[in-house]
């Protein structure tokens, strides 16, 4: 019986000393898991994975891509851009989002670059620095003024320009916070 008693005491000691180590390991693993779905910044993703070879996404889209029948096409070779993106450092869940971003950029005129870049550098920087989403609308950071209201008095823009820039900045904000 003394051997059994010694074994039980020894087992309890091992269990009790291993418990804090196991608990610590479990806590560390849980810290690595996201508590909620994290948004993906598609522009940062492009810069990290594609930018070294292809430059800025918007410039790349305007220079090398076109839209035909609602589909994105490469300018050099008419090829399946989905397949191309899958072979270029993107995970499966990122391919459609990047494809949609490039499709939107190739479909959009370069008005931001020609009319706004002198003061705002890029739409991405403008959204990061100056805009915040509250509910369904974008607002000027630090104010109660919606982007649409602000644009009514910004640089004498007409209704068509206001609509264009609000839609563009809303799209960019969604691309920066892709679920």
**Cβ neighbourhood burial of 160 (10 Å; 0-12, 13-18, 19+):** exposed
Using CA atoms, how far residue 57 sits from 45, 50, 74, 84, 123, in Å, is 10, 8, 14, 15, 12
CA nearest 120: which of 136, 137, 140? 140
Helix axes 159-176, 92-107, angle to 10 degrees: 160
Same domain, 138 and 76: no
Share the mean pLDDT of the chain. 84
Same domain, 103 and 147: no
pTM of the predicted structure, to 2 decimals: 0.75
Tens of pLDDT, residue by residue over 104-163, are 999 999 999 999 999 999 999 999 999 999 999 999 999 999 999 999 999 999 999 999
Last residue of one domain, picked from the residues 61, 76, 107: 107
Overall domain count for the chain: 3
20 backbone dihedrals φ, ψ, rounded to 5°: -60, -35
Same domain, 103 and 114: no
* Domain range enclosing 28: 1-33
């Amino acid at each position: 019986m003394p051997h059994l008693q010694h074994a039980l005491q020894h087992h309890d000691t091992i269990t009790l000393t291993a418990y804090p180590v196991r608990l610590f390991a479990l806590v560390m693993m849980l810290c690595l898991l996201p508590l909620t779905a994290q948004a993906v910044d598609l522009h940062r993703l492009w810069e990290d994975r594609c930018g070294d070879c292809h430059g800025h996404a918007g410039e790349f889209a305007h220079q090398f891509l076109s839209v035909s029948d609602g589909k994105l096409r490469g300018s050099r070779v008419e090829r399946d851009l989905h397949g191309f993106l899958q072979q270029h450092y993107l995970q499966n869940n990122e391919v459609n989002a990047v494809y949609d971003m490039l499709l939107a950029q190739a479909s959009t005129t370069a008005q931001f670059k020609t009319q706004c870049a002198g003061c705002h550098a890029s739409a991405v920087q403008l959204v990061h620095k100056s805009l915040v989403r509250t509910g369904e609308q974008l607002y000027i950071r630090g104010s109660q003024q919606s982007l649409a209201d602000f644009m009514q008095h910004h640089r004498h823009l007409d209704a068509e320009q206001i609509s264009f820039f609000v839609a563009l900045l809303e799209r960019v904000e969604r691309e920066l916070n892709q679920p």
